[in-house]
Amino acid sequence: MKKILILAVLMLALLFSVSAVIAGKPDSKAGKAVNPTVEKNNEFSLPENAKEVAPGVFYLGESMDKGKVVEGYAFVHYAKGSKSAARPKPVVDDTVDMYKLLFKGIKWADTMQYEVNTTGSGLDDDAVRTALSASLETWDTAIIGDFELFNDDLLTTESGFDSGDRKNRVTWNDLGTSGTIAMNSFWFYRTTKEIVESDVVFNTAYVWSIDDVCANNAMDLQNIATHEFGHNGLADLYVSKSAELTMYGYSSNGETKKRTLGTGDIAGINELY
């Protein structure tokens, strides 16, 4: 009997945490410029005497039920990046010195230049150029030596994505709805490790923003572009310790932290150029 009651409490606790996460899903149709996931997590509170006995597992204490003692536990499923998830607080900030080179050090031999076709971006042509130039300049500013990696004077092209034509194109295309925000495809000589082409495609399935403060239902263009341009030699990082760096492989709507480089990003680009 006691076991059944404990199980029932556990199931209730589980249902509660799960429903909180589901309710926290951003409602894109309503276009709300808030982050309901974080709000829900902040609103949701366990009883004051709840004790965390394992990460995300809370002991709620015991009470009497039909003359028998019942124990309560809550399993809390945190949304990534919420305040609660950061406890106990690990050292994850943009001073993390972590980077990974693509194919052990492929790179451009000379300054490279992109052509841009803003069709499908839903944004003003000049605004797109301003955001992309800022992303390119962010990397060049970080390079300590004299080498200029990017010519931030973006050329215009009417062409779409064409990988392998030795043109460096920035375009918008439908990359599906399974979570791909953007893509960088590149070509390099295996023998000399020289990069000879880089193409960036932004997914038209997302709403793109060039606003200073990015709405929570849109992808910040400068944020994602800075990451994609980093693939001119740097690889994605997926460990959680790298979460604040520009080369971290995941992003979300409203995010702008990748506009500026972290310690690892700067170390990586200077290892190459």
Nearer to Zn ion, 129 or 231 (CB): 231
Q: Which helix or strand (DSSP H or E) is residue 65 part of?
A: strand 57-65
74 CB burial (10 A radius; 0-12, 13-18, 19+): buried
Task: State the minimum distance, in angstroms, from the CB of residue 231 to Zn ion.
Answer: 6
Task: State the minimum distance, in angstroms, from the CB of residue 5 to Zn ion.
Answer: 49
**DSSP per residue, 123-181:** S-HHHHHHHHHHHHHHHHHH--SS---EEEEEEE------TTSS--EEEEE---SSS--
CB-CB neighbours of 142 under 10 Å: 18
Token pair, residue 144, equals 């300590």
Cα–Cα distance, 225 to 118 (Å, whole number):
13
Nearer to Zn ion, 9 or 182 (CB): 182
Q: Name the DSSP class of 101.
A: B
Nearer to Zn ion, 3 or 104 (CB): 104
Task: State the minimum distance, in angstroms, from the CB of residue 250 to Zn ion.
Answer: 9
Contact range with Zn ion by CB under 5 A, out of 9-17, 66-74, 138-146, 234-242: 234-242
Cα–Cα distance, 110 to 220 (Å, whole number):
29
The residue with its CB nearest to Zn ion is 236
Q: Which helix or strand (DSSP H or E) is residue 203 part of?
A: strand 195-203
Contact range with Zn ion by CB under 5 A, out of 4-12, 140-148, 161-169, 236-244: 236-244
Nearest alpha carbon to residue 155 among 143, 165, 145, 170: 170
Nearer to Zn ion, 128 or 181 (CB): 181
Nearer to Zn ion, 58 or 99 (CB): 99
**Using CB under 5 A, which residues numbered 26 to 85 contact Zn ion?**
none
Residue 18 to residues 82, 88, 114, 186: CA-CA distances in angstroms? Answer: 15, 22, 45, 41
Task: State the minimum distance, in angstroms, from the CB of residue 169 to Zn ion.
Answer: 17
Task: State the minimum distance, in angstroms, from the CB of residue 191 to Zn ion.
Answer: 25
Task: State the minimum distance, in angstroms, from the CB of residue 43 to Zn ion.
Answer: 34
Contact range with Zn ion by CB under 5 A, out of 74-82, 161-169, 230-238, 254-262: 230-238
Do 160 and 173 meet the contact criterion of CB atoms below 8 Å apart? Answer: yes
Task: State the minimum distance, in angstroms, from the CB of residue 152 to Zn ion.
Answer: 20
Among 52, 140, 197, 236, binds Zn ion (CB under 5 A): 236
Contact range with Zn ion by CB under 5 A, out of 66-74, 117-125, 163-171, 229-237: 229-237
- Binding of Zn ion at residue 251 (CB under 5 A)? no
Binding site for Zn ion (CB under 5 A): 236
